Structure 1
Amino acid sequence: MPDEAVKLVLESLGHLIGEERKLLAEASEAGDEATVALMSDYLREQEKLVWTLVASSDCDCASDCLTEV
């Protein structure tokens, strides 16, 4: 994947992960265990995807792209 594409995907994932963490915190405060479990699963997989993209890419954009993470 070209560096620009990796950068765009990482930026999008960074934003998405940031929003999901907010939702996870709200669900936890509300005692909504089903949403907590669902969001935890989503976050784990997306964070694994971020790691995989960064590890397999020549792009040094991870620190620039992942301000939300």
Structure 2
Amino acid sequence: MKAFTLAHAGKGFLRGQWLLIASSAAPDVNRMAGPLATFDPATGAATVNVKALGGDSGSFSACKFHQGSPIVLAVI
């Protein structure tokens, strides 16, 4: 789980909706995806159950949220 606070409150995200979260500095490299576990549209507080990571996904100083779809992860 990864906690965020969105700068712009009032977004229409829904619990369970998949989100793609990308670094503003390097969106093609640093990104993560997963379903939204909690969201408070009044404050912008959100928790995402991260299921897929790309690049340095743990140290975003600024990021953008986009609607996404479930990602199928290969089981080896």
The structure that is strand-richer by fraction is: 2
What is the TM-score of this pair, normalised by structure 2? 0.22
Q: Of the two, which has the highest radius of gyration?
A: 1
- The higher relative CO (CA closer than 8 Å, separation ≥ 6) is in 1
The structure that is helix-richer by fraction is: 1
